[in-house]
Amino acid sequence: MTAAGRRRLPPHPDAGPVTAVGAQVTRNGLRILDLCCGAGGAAMGYWLAGFEVTGVDIAPQPRYPFPFVHADALTFPLDGFDAVHASPPCQVWTMAQRIRRNDHPDLIAPLRDRLATAGLPFVIENVPGAPLRDPLTLCGAMWAGLAVYRHREFEVSFPLTPPTHPAHRARLAKMGRPPRPGEFMHVVGNFSGAAQARQAMGIGWMTRDELREAIPPAYTRHVGHALAAHLTAAGGRSAVAG
């Protein structure tokens, strides 16, 4: 590994308490493209795992903490990246949406086709109920310091072992009031307590609306370490750099 690869950086100034405190950020020389990036919850996890991150979203994202391109994920060029993460909109797969039968486009299938054709390692993240292939579930209870359960599913094209899934022992705060000490919270819909949600998710920089869409960076930090190991074993950029 190069000197740059060994370089340790301080935590990103925007990283939340769970993701930043004690995090040892070592750059790995790998570049990941973050499609449908929102305000960067997934992005921060990859950055903490050592990746350089570029985000793409169809909507402006003024608080995205890394280089950002305002563009369509279905056409943005994939050249120059070692791997791709995609978090397509999940509204189409949520229970409330199924009941209302509103019309949101499904981006999962076209994005999977693009990524598989490109031949790059990829991650597609979405809510339970979305049509992912053999997904793994990650839960906030897997990381000490988070206070959300927030199950999210990950379809990955490389080996990934999830942490042990502990029982949900903490009580969930009722919707409509901020959580009391020791309670976990839902960060969905018209939730109360944006400040508590930032702590609960380990995200220090997002607005209430952005938090509702985001995943805790701890999830993708875990995925990112497995992805970097896979790329290195496969002779990816970090291995070449060494």
- Where does this chain bind ligand SAM (CB under 6 A)? 36-42, 56-59, 72-74, 87, 89-90, 107, 213-215
Nearer to ligand SAM, 29 or 124 (CB): 124
Q: Shortest gap between Cβ of 57 and ligand SAM (angstroms)?
A: 4
Nearer to ligand SAM, 41 or 179 (CB): 41
| Contacts of range 103-112, beta carbons closer than 8 Å, 24 or more positions apart | 106/131, 107/36, 107/73, 107/74, 108/132, 110/74, 111/35, 111/73, 111/74, 111/86, 112/155
Nearer to ligand SAM, 93 or 184 (CB): 93
Q: Shortest gap between Cβ of 10 and ligand SAM (angstroms)?
A: 22
Q: Is 83 helix (H, G, I), strand (E, B) or coil?
A: strand
Nearer to ligand SAM, 164 or 190 (CB): 190
Q: Shortest gap between Cβ of 165 and ligand SAM (angstroms)?
A: 20
Q: Shortest gap between Cβ of 77 and ligand SAM (angstroms)?
A: 13
Q: How far apart are CA 146 and CA 165, in angstroms?
A: 14
Run of H or E including 113 = helix 108-118
The amino acid occupying position 221 is: R
